[in-house]
Amino acid sequence: MSNRPITEDDLHAYVDGVLESEREAEVAIYLEGHPDMARRVAAFSDQRDLLRKALAPIADEPVPSQLNLSGMIESRRRRSSPVWWAIAAMLMLSIGGVGGWVMRGSLQGSNGGLAALAQEAAYSYSVYAPDRIRPVEMRASDSAQLVQWVSNRLKQPVKLPDLTGSGYRLMGGRLIATSHGPAAMFMYDDDRGDRLVVLTRPMASEQSAPMAPHLGGDVSGFAWADGGMGYSLVGQAAAESLRPIANEVRKQARTI
């Protein structure tokens, strides 16, 4: 038997039946010695019982067809754009590994468009973001050289997005090999150590494309293309919290 005094919270937890058995026994002993309190607790138990019984019939009603969940899932699937599904399929394949390799022909079918870019960004994130030793090749302190290096290799002026306004600091970056040529990868982290990757490269196809989400597995992100350059932002945060950051990257990239 513990010496902890019985609290009001204990009495409510007793009513709700959520105390551990030892504590429950202690409360029961306490109530034996306090008949006034025991009456209140009994009244609360009756009240709880009455409420549950009064509301139980609602849960027993047949669920109206308005709330047909499989119908909602199906109609959402139909509404979703083919692009979204293509990207989701890519990510599923990338998670599949062997499956992704076997299906490489169909991936290349995208001709280096947005879906391919999204996949490359997801790959880069999964390879480099978990790296605790050398996630980037050039650190943020050398950001001027980093920009010059990737701009030379991409044969395009690359602007380094500044995400401090969104709470993310530049860690650095590196050059990434893709089947559509070199790409620049920049990595950022926030105060909690959550990392973001921005990937950019020239686009052979889909040189200009609106921002589209890519979701799947445990990374999410957005991809878009502007003026011949493709961009993808990938992270582990919820897609909706990444959207404003992606918008910020797009805005900054347009002001080269």
Partner 1 sequence: MSDMLHLVEPVIPALRRYARALVRNRAAADDLVQDCLERAVSHWNQRREGDPRPWLFTILHNLAVNHFRRSARQGKHITIDEANEDDFGQDAVQEQKLMYQDVLDKLARLPEDQRAVLLLVAVEDLSYADAARVLDIPIGTVMSRLSRAREKLQQEIEGTADGAPTNVVQLRSMK
Is residue 77 part of the contact set for partner 1 (CB under 8 A)?
A: yes
Residue with tokens 């990257």: 249
The binder of partner 1 chosen from 70, 105, 191, 193 (CB under 8 A): 70
Listed residue (220, 248, 249, 250) closest to 235, CA to CA:
220
Identify the DSSP state of 7.
-
Q: Are 224 and 230 in contact (CB under 8 A)?
A: yes
Is residue 57 part of the contact set for partner 1 (CB under 8 A)?
A: yes
User: How big is the site for partner 1, counted in residues (CB under 8 A)?
Assistant: 43
Q: Which span sits near partner 1 by CB under 8 A: 7-15, 154-162, 172-180, 189-197? A: 7-15
Q: Are 152 and 182 in contact (CB under 8 A)?
A: no
Residue 175 corresponds to which tokens in the numbers above? Answer: 């050059």
Nearer to partner 1, 74 or 131 (CB): 74
Is residue 72 part of the contact set for partner 1 (CB under 8 A)?
A: yes
Q: Which span sits near partner 1 by CB under 8 A: 54-62, 93-101, 108-116, 162-170? A: 54-62
Render the burial of 146-185: b for 16+ CB within 10 Å, e for the rest: bbebbeeebebebbbbebeebebebbbbbbbebebeebbb
Nearer to partner 1, 84 or 143 (CB): 84
3-state SS assignment for residue 43 = helix
The binder of partner 1 chosen from 25, 28, 47, 145 (CB under 8 A): 47
Strands 220-226 and 209-214: antiparallel
Is residue 18 part of the contact set for partner 1 (CB under 8 A)?
A: yes
Q: Which span sits near partner 1 by CB under 8 A: 43-51, 111-119, 135-143, 161-169? A: 43-51
Residue 19 phi/psi, 5-degree rounding, is -80, 155
Q: Which span sits near partner 1 by CB under 8 A: 37-45, 124-132, 168-176, 222-230? A: 37-45
Binding interface with partner 1 (CB under 8 A): 8-9, 11-13, 15-16, 18, 36-37, 39-40, 43-44, 47-48, 50-61, 63-64, 66-67, 69-70, 72-73, 76-77, 215, 220, 238-240
